[in-house]
Protein backbone atom coordinates (compact mmCIF):
# COMPACT_ATOMS: atom_id res chain seq x y z
CA UNK A 1 0.00 0.00 0.00
CA UNK A 2 2.94 2.34 0.61
CA UNK A 3 3.99 1.95 -3.01
CA UNK A 4 0.52 2.71 -4.33
CA UNK A 5 0.28 5.70 -2.00
CA UNK A 6 3.66 7.00 -3.22
CA UNK A 7 2.59 6.51 -6.82
CA UNK A 8 -0.59 8.51 -6.20
CA UNK A 9 1.32 11.27 -4.44
CA UNK A 10 3.80 11.49 -7.30
CA UNK A 11 1.04 11.59 -9.90
CA UNK A 12 -0.70 14.38 -7.99
CA UNK A 13 2.47 16.47 -8.07
CA UNK A 14 3.75 15.89 -4.55
CA UNK A 15 7.17 14.32 -5.07
CA UNK A 16 8.20 15.35 -1.54
CA UNK A 17 5.33 13.35 0.00
CA UNK A 18 6.06 10.41 -2.31
CA UNK A 19 9.69 10.44 -1.19
CA UNK A 20 8.64 10.48 2.47
CA UNK A 21 6.30 7.53 1.88
CA UNK A 22 8.99 5.49 0.10
CA UNK A 23 11.46 6.26 2.87
CA UNK A 24 8.93 5.17 5.51
CA UNK A 25 8.67 1.85 3.69
CA UNK A 26 12.45 1.55 3.37
CA UNK A 27 12.84 2.09 7.14
CA UNK A 28 11.02 -1.20 7.72
CA UNK A 29 13.74 -3.02 5.76
CA UNK A 30 16.82 -1.21 7.01
CA UNK A 31 20.03 -2.79 8.19
CA UNK A 32 21.02 -1.55 11.61
CA UNK A 33 23.57 1.25 11.37
CA UNK A 34 23.00 1.94 7.66
CA UNK A 35 20.97 4.69 6.03
CA UNK A 36 18.59 3.10 3.53
CA UNK A 37 16.69 6.25 2.55
CA UNK A 38 16.43 7.78 -0.90
CA UNK A 39 17.45 11.38 -1.53
CA UNK A 40 15.05 12.11 -4.36
CA UNK A 41 12.25 10.72 -6.45
CA UNK A 42 11.36 12.27 -9.76
CA UNK A 43 9.20 10.00 -11.88
CA UNK A 44 6.91 7.00 -11.97
CA UNK A 45 9.96 4.99 -13.00
CA UNK A 46 11.44 5.57 -9.54
CA UNK A 47 8.35 4.08 -7.89
CA UNK A 48 8.36 1.14 -10.31
CA UNK A 49 11.99 0.37 -9.46
CA UNK A 50 11.18 0.57 -5.76
CA UNK A 51 8.21 -1.72 -6.31
CA UNK A 52 10.44 -4.23 -8.08
CA UNK A 53 12.90 -4.17 -5.19
CA UNK A 54 10.28 -4.39 -2.46
CA UNK A 55 8.06 -6.99 -4.11
CA UNK A 56 10.82 -9.11 -5.64
CA UNK A 57 9.43 -12.52 -6.52
CA UNK A 58 5.81 -11.66 -5.78
CA UNK A 59 4.81 -11.34 -9.47
CA UNK A 60 3.33 -7.84 -9.15
CA UNK A 61 5.56 -6.15 -11.72
CA UNK A 62 3.38 -6.93 -14.75
CA UNK A 63 0.30 -5.41 -13.11
CA UNK A 64 2.20 -2.28 -12.09
CA UNK A 65 3.68 -1.82 -15.57
CA UNK A 66 0.34 -2.42 -17.28
CA UNK A 67 -1.52 -0.05 -14.95
CA UNK A 68 1.01 2.74 -15.44
CA UNK A 69 1.25 2.32 -19.21
CA UNK A 70 4.94 1.36 -19.03
CA UNK A 71 4.65 -2.33 -19.97
CA UNK A 72 5.70 -2.11 -23.64
CA UNK A 73 8.44 0.43 -22.86
CA UNK A 74 9.99 -1.79 -20.17
CA UNK A 75 9.67 -4.98 -22.22
CA UNK A 76 11.46 -3.33 -25.12
CA UNK A 77 14.09 -1.88 -22.82
CA UNK A 78 14.85 -4.93 -20.66
CA UNK A 79 13.76 -7.96 -22.71
CA UNK A 80 16.29 -9.85 -24.81
CA UNK A 81 13.72 -10.07 -27.65
CA UNK A 82 13.46 -6.37 -28.47
CA UNK A 83 11.76 -6.69 -31.85
CA UNK A 84 8.26 -6.62 -30.36
CA UNK A 85 5.46 -4.75 -32.13
CA UNK A 86 4.44 -1.38 -30.73
Range of the domain at 48: 2-30+40-78
pLDDT digits (tens, 9 = 90+) for 18-76: 999 999 988 887 777 888 888 888 888 888 888 877 777 677 788 888 888 988 888 88
Is there a domain that residue 16 lies in? Answer: yes
pLDDT digits (tens, 9 = 90+) for 49-62: 888 777 776 777 88
Q: In whole angstroms, what is the distance from residue 54 CA to residue 37 CA?
A: 13
The pLDDT score that the predictor gives to residue 17 is 92
Q: In whole angstroms, what is the distance from residue 3 CA to residue 29 CA?
A: 14
Is there a domain that residue 85 lies in? Answer: no
Residue 86 has pLDDT above 60, yes or no: no
Is there a domain that residue 86 lies in? Answer: no
Is there a domain that residue 46 lies in? Answer: yes
Question: What's the number of domains the chain is made of?
Answer: 1
Amino acid sequence: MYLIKAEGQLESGSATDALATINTLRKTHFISGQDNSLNSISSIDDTLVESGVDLCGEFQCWFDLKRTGKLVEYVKKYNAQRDLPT
